[in-house]
Amino acid sequence: MAFRRFVSHRAAVVSCAIIAFLTIFVIFAPFTARYGVNQSVQGPPNSFLNPRANAWLGTDDIGRDLYSRLIYGVRVSLLIGLASAIISVTLGALVGAVAGFRGGKFDDIMMRVTDLFLAFPFLVTLLVVRNVLGALPWLRPITGDMSSVRFIIVLFGLFGWMGVARIVRGQVLSLKEREFVEAARAVGASRRYIIARHLLPNSVGPIMVALTFSVVGAIIGESTLAFFGYGPQAGDGATSLGILVGAAKGAVQTGYWWLAVFPCLVLIIIALSINFIGDALRDATDPRLDRGV
């Protein structure tokens, strides 16, 4: 039933196809890319070439092929999005389920903290939290260097759980009054058992929705950070969508439109597709929603 509702959302099906295609495309980057991530397309002069036969989307300031770099960049960005979303959804689902089920002081404090974080301008909180994480030496083994991709994954993993926790908490609050939970409690099921076997499985819909939105959030967040120069650093020529979009800033005034348009376009397509999928998932898994009305 839920599946049929999902499939009836046409934009979401197209989005799924786009994301699947993109994923396969970037996984096989060594075959699909025409040049190495750090390889120039031809001998000098090769910088800022506009799109042409040997560089489909043009070249950047040191003559590297934008098309190939986009493939490698999307690969890193999708990894960041997926990995950090899994971390934040796991954390958020646990915290949200426990807070919603136990209620009381823990719930109050958790939700206060969440409200506070969500009320602040996103970029400010992100930058401050980023610096604090980077300044704690005992976190270094987990987070790695501040300019690494791993650091960004941990940052968004720790940053994104609050929205998820709030959604799962709401779901659990309504579920825990239902008869089957009461029945489970009546036969003596432990709290942990009820959360693990009844509450979380029944919240799969909202959790999946939260997962898709976390992926988008992390991908856009990484681009935003990179755009302002706080993202992962391009060590050894490695790249990400954020680094490419960040380079667009300098390309605008000089009129190298391809450096601005193509990375931004790819980012928009990815963000839109995943958002459509999330939207359709929400419609499909929420029986209260009447589609079209």
Partner 1 sequence: MLRYILRRLAWSIPTLLIVTFLVYLALRIGTDPVASYKRVNPRATRAKVAEYIDVNGLDPNFVQGYFKWLKNFVTGEWPRSIKGRREVWPALKDAMANTLRLGTAATVVGIFFGLIAGVLAALRPGGKRDVFINTSAFVGISVPPFISAIMFQLLFAVYWQKWFGESLFPTSGVYPAGHTGFDLFLMLKFMALPTLVVAIQIIATYSRYMRSSLLDVLNSDYMRTARSKGISERRVLVKHGMRNALIPVVTIAALDVGSIVGGLIITENIFSYPGMGLYFLKSFGEGDFPLLMPWMVVIVASVLFFNLIADISYAWLDPRIRLD
Contact residues for partner 1, defined by CB under 8 A: 11, 116, 118-124, 127-132, 134-136, 216, 220, 223-224, 227-228, 245, 248-249, 252-253, 255, 257, 260-261, 264, 267-268, 271-272, 275-276, 279, 292-293
SS3 assignment, position 59: strand
Instruction: Write down the least CB distance from residue 168 to partner 1, Å.
Output: 21
Q: What is the dihedral angle through the alpha carbons of 11, 16, 22, 23, rounded to the nearest 10 degrees?
A: 160
Task: List Cα–Cα distances, 118 to 38, 140, 151, 183, in angstroms.
Answer: 39, 26, 21, 36
Extract the tokens encoding 116. Answer: 């506070």
| Cβ pair 80, 240 in contact under 8 A | yes
Extract the tokens encoding 193. Answer: 């058992």
| Cβ pair 9, 280 in contact under 8 A | yes
Task: List Cα–Cα distances, 223 to 36, 56, 113, 190, 242, in angstroms.
Answer: 22, 23, 26, 44, 4
Extract the tokens encoding 229. Answer: 């120069």
Question: Among candidates 148, 166, 155, 154, which has minimal Cα distance to 123?
Answer: 155
Angle formed at CA 173 by CA 167 and CA 179, multiple of 5 degrees = 135
108 vs 182 by CB, closer to partner 1: 108
Instruction: Write down the least CB distance from residue 263 to partner 1, Å.
Output: 9
197 vs 291 by CB, closer to partner 1: 291
Instruction: Write down the least CB distance from residue 275 to partner 1, Å.
Output: 5
237 vs 250 by CB, closer to partner 1: 250
141 vs 253 by CB, closer to partner 1: 253
30 vs 288 by CB, closer to partner 1: 288
Instruction: Write down the least CB distance from residue 87 to partner 1, Å.
Output: 21
175 vs 259 by CB, closer to partner 1: 259
Instruction: Write down the least CB distance from residue 251 to partner 1, Å.
Output: 9
Instruction: Write down the least CB distance from residue 271 to partner 1, Å.
Output: 5
